[in-house]
Structure 1
């Protein structure tokens, strides 16, 4: 608890991101990883292998973007820094540990960016009492076009904290409207990723599985109604073995990776 409190108090964070819980989530992610290091190891290895494989399919040199860089648990930073002229780590905030790693490479840059593109508009809408803002495509990062981009487990996560804020501040908004908003955020992210780079890839959890003794008791869709084509690569993530999140049930995520986001945007359900 002391470590988490220190990280929360000393991590640089924009006020809006702090208020919406992004700093608390980042600190909690690090703590959960420390508790579940062994359970997470196969997933993190699969992520790093996928990112390296996806990057190898892009032309070397140029700029690379890692969207949702988080704590760099899933990112083979040294390999990316060796392959591309510049690597830009993009997230709402960057932990002190990430800043230390980035300083080891002269060509790695940190950018604080709202990849949802909607947080300020949502905050203003909630202050007015609604309605929810449109989930427009986020603006592209400034500078030279990226030759490679990777979205790290963002597609399922982008709506979570905005939806938490809606629940707290505008509980009268109907579930159907919230789901439409979440769906639109996911679709906007796919379009933003496609527009950002010559070659873009992504991985994301697609389904949550609740298990008792290895048997599935419940399945939950993680993609807010987006119907994606079959992934190029799939693996499982034992994210919260009991009693991490539930006293009796294990939580496992199905994860999918796509090497070319254009194959996703071409086949995604727009309904």
Structure 2
């Protein structure tokens, strides 16, 4: 607990990230990873393998954008820096460990960015008692166009902390309005990635299963009802074996990876 408290107090954090709980979430994720490092190893290896396969589909050089770079657990950073001229790591905030790691790699740039573009308008709506926003988009990123963009286990997570804020500040918001907001976040993220780079790829958890003594007792969709095609590759992630999150039940995610995001976005309905 002391390590987490020090990390929370000393990590540079933009006001929006602090307001919506991203700092606490980052610290908690790092602590969980340290506790579950051995159990997460197959998932981390699968993520690295997917990224390595995805980048082979584009020419070396140019710029790559990594959206949701987080603690770099699932990102084979040195592999990316060896293949691309510049690696832009985009997330709401960056831990001190990530900053130190990036400082040793001259072609890595850290970018604090709300990759949905939803948080500022949501904060304004909650402060003013207005309906949840839907017409938002991420800000542009300066510099040369990206050769490749990658979304790292981010899609399902995008609406979670914003919707927690909605529950705290505007608990009477209708479910349909909340779902519409969430769908605009995830659809907008996919379209943004497709537009920002010559080629884009994505991996994300697609459902969550609770297991008791190896038997699945409950399955929940993690993609907000978005009609995604079957992934190109998939694997299982034992994210929270008991008693990590539940005293008796294990939590397992199914993860899917898509090598060509343009094919995914072409089938999406309008937001």
Q: TM-score range by the shorter chain?
A: over 0.9
Give the corresponding residue for 2:40. Answer: 40
Tell me, yes or no, if structure 1 residue 5 matches structure 2 residue 5.
yes
How many matched pairs?
A: 271
Deviation at 1:38, TM superposition (A): 1.1
Q: Secondary structure in 1 aligned to 2:123?
A: helix
TM-score by length of 1: 0.98
TM-score by length of 2: 0.98
Distance 1:155 1:223 in 2: 7
The answer as to whether partners of 2:138 and 2:192 remain within 8 angstroms in 1 is yes
Deviation at 1:52, TM superposition (A): 1.3
Bigger drift between 127-136 and 187-196 goes to 127-136
Distance 1:31 1:141 in 2: 31
Pairwise mapping of residues 176-215 of structure 1 onto structure 2 (< 5 A)?
176-215=176-215
Tell me, yes or no, if structure 1 residue 17 matches structure 2 residue 20.
no
Pairwise mapping of residues 117-196 of structure 1 onto structure 2 (< 5 A)?
117-196=117-196
Distance 2:29 2:200 in 1: 25
Deviation at 1:267, TM superposition (A): 2.2
Report the CA distance shift for 1:210/1:270 in structure 2 as closer, same or farther (over 3 A): farther
Distance 1:208 1:15 in 2: 31
Tell me, yes or no, if structure 1 residue 246 matches structure 2 residue 265.
no
Q: Secondary structure in 2 aligned to 1:267?
A: coil
Q: Secondary structure in 1 aligned to 2:114?
A: coil
Give the corresponding residue for 1:26. Answer: 26
Report the CA distance shift for 1:4/1:135 in structure 2 as closer, same or farther (over 3 A): farther
Deviation at 1:135, TM superposition (A): 4.4
Distance 1:133 1:267 in 2: 24
Distance 1:131 1:78 in 2: 44
Give the corresponding residue for 2:79. Answer: 79
Q: Write out the 4+ residue segments of structure 1 that deviate beyond 2 Å after TM superposition.
A: 267-271
Tell me, yes or no, if structure 1 residue 225 matches structure 2 residue 225.
yes
Deviation at 1:19, TM superposition (A): 1.3
Deviation at 1:175, TM superposition (A): 1.2
Deviation at 1:48, TM superposition (A): 0.8
Distance 1:265 1:83 in 2: 26
Gap runs ≥5 in structure 2: none
The answer as to whether partners of 2:134 and 2:180 remain within 8 angstroms in 1 is no
Distance 2:269 2:212 in 1: 32
Distance 1:116 1:262 in 2: 18
Distance 2:20 2:137 in 1: 20
Q: CA RMSD in A?
A: 1.0
The answer as to whether partners of 1:140 and 1:192 remain within 8 angstroms in 2 is no
Bigger drift between 256-265 and 126-135 goes to 126-135
Distance 2:255 2:80 in 1: 22
Deviation at 1:139, TM superposition (A): 2.5
Distance 1:139 1:185 in 2: 14
The answer as to whether partners of 2:44 and 2:74 remain within 8 angstroms in 1 is yes
Gap runs ≥5 in structure 1: none
The answer as to whether partners of 2:92 and 2:112 remain within 8 angstroms in 1 is yes
The answer as to whether partners of 1:64 and 1:84 remain within 8 angstroms in 2 is yes
Report the CA distance shift for 1:31/1:246 in structure 2 as closer, same or farther (over 3 A): same
